[in-house]
Structure 1
Amino acid sequence: MQMKTISLLLTVVCLLAACGQKEQAGGGSTPAFPELTDPYRAEKAIENGDVVNVHSRIANWERWEQFMKNVAQQTPDQVRITSYTIEGDPTFEELVYDGKKVVFTYDDSMDKYGGKDKGRQTTTCEGIAIASKSKGKNEYILKGCDKEFGQYFELSN
């Protein structure tokens, strides 16, 4: 009787431990993004290591550059880009690179004026490309995405 109770207890503990683990969109090889809080102010986003775009003023650009170096070296990495609407609401673009493909998630769920279709959308893309270079600036885009909204990702420094 005691052995059955111990076995049952161990099984429950193992199940609870497995349920408590978060799986990443990119397969779990990179740590989870910092949790999003509401409100998610630019200062908090910068502190969390996000690349932050406030009306074309970019903070933490070096984080994007490191992400691109890791992609070039086929090293798994992830980056979150937080942009702010005119009203000050955050939108998020998360890119998780697994060494081969990029999982791109667009999230406008905190945009109070985002319309009825707001929320999280995810697509898998073949990679990231430099679309153009002008005046010393690069414009980055996603290529080969399996869903159309991935083609709307654009970032420039």
Structure 2
Amino acid sequence: MKKSMLILSLAIMLLTACESNDETTNISVSTNSFPEIIEPHNPEQAEQSGDVVVLLEGMRNQDKWKTFVKNVKNKHQDQVRVTMYTLEGGAIIHELIYDGSAIQSTYDDSRDAYGSKQGRKTNTCKGIGTMKSEQGRVFYVLTDCEKEVSTFSIPK
């Protein structure tokens, strides 16, 4: 009886050890999904969704932006959605996903009356830097982007 239990245990261990090592079964999947955008995407809804909200009068959820910048600097994966509002109240949405080496930027200005109706635009950039405007204001910008011009800038 003990001998048959030992043989059965060894057989189970061998079968378990011989499972497929197919990479698709062992990869931990990260979906990098953002909360669904509820229309109309007003500043209060964007803030409740966890977006960093940039308005003329200031920034909401600024701590999320600071954490994202810190994580990029320290090469830790992170993501953030930044929703900026125009003078007319149109939402311009930037989704930034940092994988530890590059930032995938997605730009959507389709909710802005003066925006492009061509859909979302993407760009890949290597980092975040700062830029000073002619008026002396400092902005965060994406740096070393594949496409020459990055559409992203946020007040520092």
TM-score normalised to structure 1 length: 0.71
Deviations 1:16-48 (Å, cap 9, x if unpaired)? Answer: xxxxxxxxxxxx636311111220111111111
Residue equivalent to 1:128: 128
Q: Does 1:140 align with 2:126?
A: no
Greater shift, 141-150 or 99-108, is seen at: 141-150
Select the structure of larger CA radius of gyration.
2
Point out where structure 2 has 5 or more consecutive residues left out of the alignment: 1-28
Does residue 26 of structure 2 align to residue 60 of structure 1? no
SS in 2 for 1:80: strand
Q: Is 1:153 aligned to residue 152 of structure 2?
A: yes
Q: Which runs of 5+ in 1 are unaligned?
A: 1-27
Note closer, same or farther for the CA distance 1:113–1:138 as it changes in structure 2 (3 Å cut): closer
Partner of 1:36: 37
- Please state how far the C-alpha of 1:153 moved relative to its aligned partner: 1.7
SS of the residue corresponding to residue 64 of structure 2 reads: helix
Across the aligned residues of Structure 1 and Structure 2, the Cα RMSD in angstroms comes to 2.1
Equivalent residue pairs, number: 125
Percent of residue pairs bearing the same amino acid type: 42
What residue in structure 1 maps to residue 51 of structure 2? 50
TM-score scaled by length of structure 2: 0.72
Give, in angstroms, the shift of residue 86 of structure 1. 2.0
